[in-house]
Amino acid sequence: MNEFELIDLVLSTLGDTASGDPLVLGPGDDSAAVLVPAGSLLVSSIDSLLADVHFPADAPAALIGYRSLMVSLSDLAAMGAEASHVLVSLTLNTVDAAWVRQFALGMREAALSTGVKIAGGNISRGPLAIHVSVHGFCPPADLLRRDTAQVGDQVFVTGALGGAAAAVAEGFAAVKDVDPDAVTPLQQRYFKPQARLSAGKTLRGTAHAAIDVSDGLLQDLGHLMKASDLQARIDSSLVPVFPGADLAQALHGGDDYELLFTAAAMPAQLGVAVSRIGELVSGSGILVDGKQVTADGYRHF
Amino acid sequence: MNEFELIDLVLSTLGDTASGDPLVLGPGDDSAAVLVPAGSLLVSSIDSLLADVHFPADAPAALIGYRSLMVSLSDLAAMGAEASHVLVSLTLNTVDAAWVRQFALGMREAALSTGVKIAGGNISRGPLAIHVSVHGFCPPADLLRRDTAQVGDQVFVTGALGGAAAAVAEGFAAVKDVDPDAVTPLQQRYFKPQARLSAGKTLRGTAHAAIDVSDGLLQDLGHLMKASDLQARIDSSLVPVFPGADLAQALHGGDDYELLFTAAAMPAQLGVAVSRIGELVSGSGILVDGKQVTADGYRHF
């Protein structure tokens, strides 16, 4: 099976998630072409997920495919953007048609549940990795940025944290033995994160600043505070801890893909639980329970 | 040096190629935000360049950076799109600040010469590879597709072919010993391809179909014929061979990044040499000098 046959297999598996509005031209040409709504900005991000760094290489392919798309889409949720389409570059060491089909099925499931289209991609031979470029639309005035938090804002987070970290606490070996048809709640947190796209859109005009929790609550909050030049004061007893995880995992663990945002007051219904965990004052850095902390989380180097 | 310090180094090196119109929000947030011209389609593609597959790992970093951007932009040229911005995901085994700075300088040079902005990116630890998502704009009616060639069209190609293949004919080892300040003409063809963006734009409304020559003339022509359901008849004596290359390299060698297009007649001035190499008839596949050929070129699997 050569690369063109592999691409045909992927496209037939993706089916209608690789065609239709807003794609004017989907996979198969040199580039895809997409209709952008008038008055919207294009919102774009790129993410790389490497085997045994960002996911266990021998996890079920469908879960790898699902997670790759969701993790990448989370960056659009953090901007308040409406997700529209993605481009996927897959590198594979060996050609395993069954693996590729399961991977594409996982991507398809994530695409169907978020309404995004898979506009194009690329397959080449190399160490297993998935590179996803995600795109969406947002009116200019509604963009949720990192650098626009305000003194006096409350700090909020969606969902509960630490579940993904608890799942990987014993190393990737602990999550690779997963039955795709019987994923435990902690495995679910790792393999099936939900990009908070709907919550992000609802926060347009309400949140002053936002980021997604990918590297860990404190590290991502640190990015927000650095960009906005403010200090966050967090009450650890208010941090929502996922059942089965502990507070340290909720504060430092990555891979949760919840939304961390600041606003003047508790927002209206977001379709997901929201916790107020602290507030913003003049200054810099983060205090947890009154003590200055280092904003640490996952670092690549 | 951690990933955030590396990103700061890249951004300070990129300078004004990572800010300004059409970026409303450049690198540093969860996503970039870009202004799309009214009435234009968004044209997008993604490419992966892996060390020792797509380029020699120990080639000068500035040339790797330059080439990565140009190779990826070539997919926009083949659509007739105006290139606007790119997202870059870089994976690195080791942190070498001098390497990263040279790589960014190479990207900057390619960005300056094409007018594209580097809107965002990502750095993670892994085998050396560059993943580039490229974006541009094109009025809907002007898109140069693969599936719209017409019976009776002439077949044209820009520039001359085979030079990059000649450069790598002795293996990547032959191109890695390159002095960035004294690149030979053949090394230039490999490391400094020119995305034919201006020619692609000029071909709007004139070319009936187009593709870029990345995998080899015959293989890429084969894609065009398959998409358009036509047969190409090529006269090998008309194929422009780069000085120092031979006809086989011009027909089968990849990495040239010239534009291959079909049109009713020789187009007006494109700012680059254009050769007529054959014509299209009903049927399928490719005849070279009257003989049916297999459309072979580089294959990943």
| A80-103: average pLDDT | 96
Residue A182 and residue A180: Cα distance in Å, rounded? 6
| A224-246: average pLDDT | 97
Q: Which of left, alpha, beta for B44 (phi over 0: left; psi -120 to 50: alpha)?
A: beta
| A213-232: average pLDDT | 96
Residues from chain B contacting residue A78 (CB–CB below 8 Å): 30-31
* Residue A210 in this model has a pLDDT that exceeds 90: yes
Q: How many CA atoms lie within 13 A of A228 on its CB side?
A: 31
pLDDT at residue B295, as a whole number: 56
Where do the structural domains in chain A lie, given as residue ranges?
3-142, 154-293
Distance from CA of B92 to the nearest CA of A (A): 10
Residues from chain B contacting residue A122 (CB–CB below 8 Å): 46-48
Q: What is the residue-averaged pLDDT of chain A?
A: 93
CATH annotation of B3-142: 3.30.1330.10
Q: Which of A12-16, A56-60, B31-35, B222-226 has the lowest mean pLDDT?
A: A56-60
Q: Which of A3-17, A287-301, B244-258 has the lowest mean pLDDT?
A: A287-301
Q: Which of B105-109, B174-178, B224-228, B272-276 has the lowest mean pLDDT?
A: B174-178
pTM of the model: 0.95
Cβ pair B78:A2 closer than 8 A: no
Q: How confident is the model at residue B182 (pLDDT cuts 50, 70, 90)?
A: confident
Q: Which of A167-171, A198-202, B156-160 has the lowest mean pLDDT?
A: A167-171
At A185-200, the pLDDT tens digits run 888 999 999 999 999 9
Cβ-proximal residues to A35 (8 Å cutoff; 6+ apart), any chain: A21, A22, A24, B41, B42
Interface residue A196 vs chain B (CB under 8 A): no
Residue B135 and residue B45: Cα distance in Å, rounded? 7
Q: How confident is the model at residue B65 (pLDDT cuts 50, 70, 90)?
A: very high
Cross-chain CB nearest to A44 (options B2, B40, B120): B120
Radius of gyration of chain B (CA): 19
The DSSP result for B38-95, as a single string, is: TTPEEEEEEEEEEBTTTB-TTS-HHHHHHHHHHHHHHHHHTTTPEEEEEEEEEEESS-
pLDDT at residue A7, as a whole number: 92
Interface residue B93 vs chain A (CB under 8 A): no
pLDDT at residue B173, as a whole number: 60
pLDDT at residue A95, as a whole number: 86
CB B160 within 8 A of CB B188: no
Cβ pair A131:B35 closer than 8 A: no
Residue of A nearest to B37 (CA): A38
CB A119 within 8 A of CB A87: yes
Closest CA to A13 of A76, A61, A51, A49: A61
Cβ pair B48:A119 closer than 8 A: no
Closest CA to A48 of A68, A31, A78, A77: A68
Report domain B154-293's class.
Answer: alpha beta
3-class state of residue A258 by DSSP:
coil
At A144-164, the pLDDT tens digits run 999 999 999 999 999 999 999
User: Which residues 41-80 on chain A approach chain B with CB closer than 8 angstroms?
Assistant: 41-48, 50, 53-54, 75-76, 78-79
* Residue A61 in this model has a pLDDT that exceeds 80: yes
Q: B3-142 and B154-293 share one CATH topology?
A: no
